[in-house]
Amino acid sequence: MNFEYKTLKVEKRGEQVLLVTLNRPEVLNAINTQMGHDQLDLWSRITAGPDNVRAIVLTGSGERAFCAGGDLKERDGMTQAAWQAQHELFERAFVALVECTVPVIAAVSGHAFGGGLEMALCCDFAYAVANARFALSEVSLGIMPGGMGTQNLPRAVGERRAKELILTARPFSAAEALEWGVLNRVCEPGKLLDEALGTAQAIAANAPLSVRQAKKSIHYGLQMDLLTGYRFEIEAYNRLVDTEDRREGVKAFNEKRKPNFKGK
């Protein structure tokens, strides 16, 4: 695939990993209308035809911010109709990220506020530098989280803590984010991308159909009761039994060699 965007930098790291960088460092990678279009196109195209992409790392340009949230300068003076049209675009981009079939790891290179934190929460999991700060500060601006923040933050930290963080709009640290479940790992600044890309490479080395089915089973299963979720899991499992990769994985195990997975 050839990915060229005005607000995103997309690079191959190895044969099967993509590094996606939010590339508006002059405004702390704030989300504008163009970035909404770019992200919707990127995540939709990967889901429609992942080709050989097996894992993705999403980060921000520069060290100051992963993403400062919505671009309020662009929004200044917007009519209600224009604001709502823009937000509908953002909504579709967030949904496309959540439903991307390929695992996406957020590498939070600096502060993540508002829509920036919501973007990280839409990823499958997240790493961050130790000095990163986080906030859903929308209620201090007369709005509220609108990028799945009121849904994904409680799923990560629990209802009561999410209410405290969203209703006070107070920032919290990377150490707190790690303790509460927003982050999986806190990294030294110079090691963030290496660690995130290392994890992406480990994911990419596994059977891609298995990874996608497992991701889907976790994501949708959590929205069901236990037994319904288990039935969904078995449906996902059974789709893997008659695949070349399943046969290759078992054969490689018995032959004591590394499997050659082809996504078939």
d(CA 207, CA 217): 15
Residue 186, classed as helix, strand or coil, is: strand
Strand partners, 185: 127
User: Measured between alpha carbons, how far is 117 from 107 in angstroms, rounded to an integer?
Assistant: 11
Q: How many CB atoms lie within 10 A of CB 77?
A: 8
Q: Is 88 a catalytic residue?
A: no
Task: Quote the radius of gyration of the chain (alpha carbons, Å).
Answer: 19
The answer to whether the beta carbons of residues 243 and 236 sit under 8 Å apart is no
Report CA-CA distances (Å) from 52 to 92, 124, 150: 24, 19, 34
Amino acid at 230: Y
* Cβ within 8 Å of residue 9, ≥6 positions away: 20, 21, 23, 61
Identify whether the C-beta of residue 187 lies closer than 8 Å to the C-beta of residue 174.
Answer: no
Query: Given strand 55-60, what is the order of strands in its sheet?
Result: 8-12, 17-22, 55-60, 104-108, 125-129, 185-187
Catalytic option among 11, 74, 88, 118 = 118
**Considering 138, 195, 244, 248, which one is annotated as catalytic?**
138
Encoding tokens for residue 169?
């709009």
Is 118 known to be catalytic? yes
10 Å Cβ neighbour count for 170?
12
Q: What angle do CA 235, 240, 243 make, to 5 degrees?
A: 145
Which residues are part of the catalytic machinery?
Answer: 118, 138
